[in-house]
Structure 1
Amino acid sequence: MKLMWTFLYMSSLLCGISAFQEQPLKKRNVLDYTDADIEKLSEEWEKDDDPLEPDELPEYKRPPAKIDFSKLDMTDPDNVLKVSKKGKSVMMFVDVNPELSEFEAASVLSRWQSNLQNNHIVAERYPIDSKRAIFKFSDGAQAVDAKNFFITERECSHVTLEGQNYIGQHASASTVKKLEKMNPTGKVEKVKKDEKKHTEL
């Protein structure tokens, strides 16, 4: 007898839930909406909207930019990187010289971010270690200019951009040796002090 009452109670409860879910959204209380209901409403609202412009879409939905490789100077890796990463998010690892204290390293990284912003290069800075930070650029073309700025700074040890290490002009010999041992697959580029390709900020 007890089993029969339990069965009747459970079946009536299930019928009530299914009847509640079948109610049209207009008749239901907003507080009772599930995530699926809200997603369904959102899709219905956006159905009749005009399509967004490509630059208003999220980055993963944007159509890729067309690159004319015949007009591209393939001998200049910075130029190739600028053109291929234009409009795409790029992250760069920046390490300061290990001789700096934690306070000096934090103030240097903060100053560099301000210098970039003063030069209209938008970068978000995320510290990941006491002497290392990630700089995220919403436009990858700006990352090349930022890299050229970083490697000319006295406090910069090295920069990693798109899997390639760039050693700062004032980096110590031990840093160069350490990077060459750490990165057997990538390329370590030592920037010449007389090279004038960097961006003055």
Structure 2
Amino acid sequence: MNLLFVYITCLIATASAKKFKDNEKPEWAKKDIRDFTEADMERLLEQWEEDDEPLEEDELPEHLRPMPKINLNEINTDDPESLLQATKKGRTLMTFVQVAGHPSRDVTEELTKLWQTSLWNSHIQAERYLVDDNRAIFLFKDGSQAWQAKEYLIEQDKCESVTIESKVYPGKYSKPKEEL
């Protein structure tokens, strides 16, 4: 049995060696891999991906995904935020969250971690990154969830403000600018 396996393996190797003789290879493929240029590597990648099945829409990189279909009849045209929310569906969106007062980085870390956990418990997925002692970025893979998260965040007593698409939403308990 083992001898038969070795024999078949040798036949396959011989057949594939005949198929890819050096004189049949393009000039760029005869080079040592260490001498490949970017163009050679690109050709090699294209050759590698030739027989791959195309990716599903949700597996494509964000810049190659088709824009979401928006039914304008279902959107309240008097509310520009609902239109913006609909256009961000399925797109990555960053939201800046400002913590009130002058907290230490550790306090901001704990507060934003608590808020992130609460959002996750409400099925709103957000990644959190601290950018300053009192400021964090919440990154939403589905940008339409940012407005739901904003509604939760501005209700928190330590939330100074939430910024989405350059629009600042003050927290419910934040002090007006004159008092600062």
Stretches (4+) displaced over 6 A: none
Give matches, 1:52-91, under 5 Å. 52-91=55-94
Map of 2:131 onto structure 1: 128
Which amino acid letter does the alignment assign opposite residue 60 of structure 2?
L
Paired residues, number? 155
Which amino acid letter does the alignment assign opposite residue 34 of structure 1?
T
TM-score (norm 1): 0.69
SS at 1:60's partner residue?
helix
Which amino acid letter does the alignment assign opposite residue 107 of structure 1?
E
Map of 1:157 onto structure 2: 160
Q: Alignment RMSD, CA only?
A: 2.2
Determine what percentage of the aligned residue pairs are the same residue.
41
User: Which residue of 103, 123, 134 corresponds with 1:100?
Assistant: 103
Give matches, 1:29-48, under 5 Å. 29-48=32-51
Deviations 1:7-63 (A, max 9, x none): xxxxxxxxxxxxxxx7341x3333333332221111122234333222111111111
* Structure 1 residues not aligned, in runs of 5+: 1-21, 179-201
User: Which residue of 6, 12, 23 corresponds with 2:27?
Assistant: 23
Map of 2:9 onto structure 1: none
Which amino acid letter does the alignment assign opposite residue 53 of structure 2?
D
Shift of 1:78: 4.3
Distance in 1, matches of 2:89 and 2:37, equals: 40
TM-score (norm 2): 0.76
SS at 2:96's partner residue?
strand
Map of 2:113 onto structure 1: 110
Pick which of 45-54 and 143-152 moved more.
45-54
Shift of 1:100: 3.0
* Structure 2 residues not aligned, in runs of 5+: 1-25
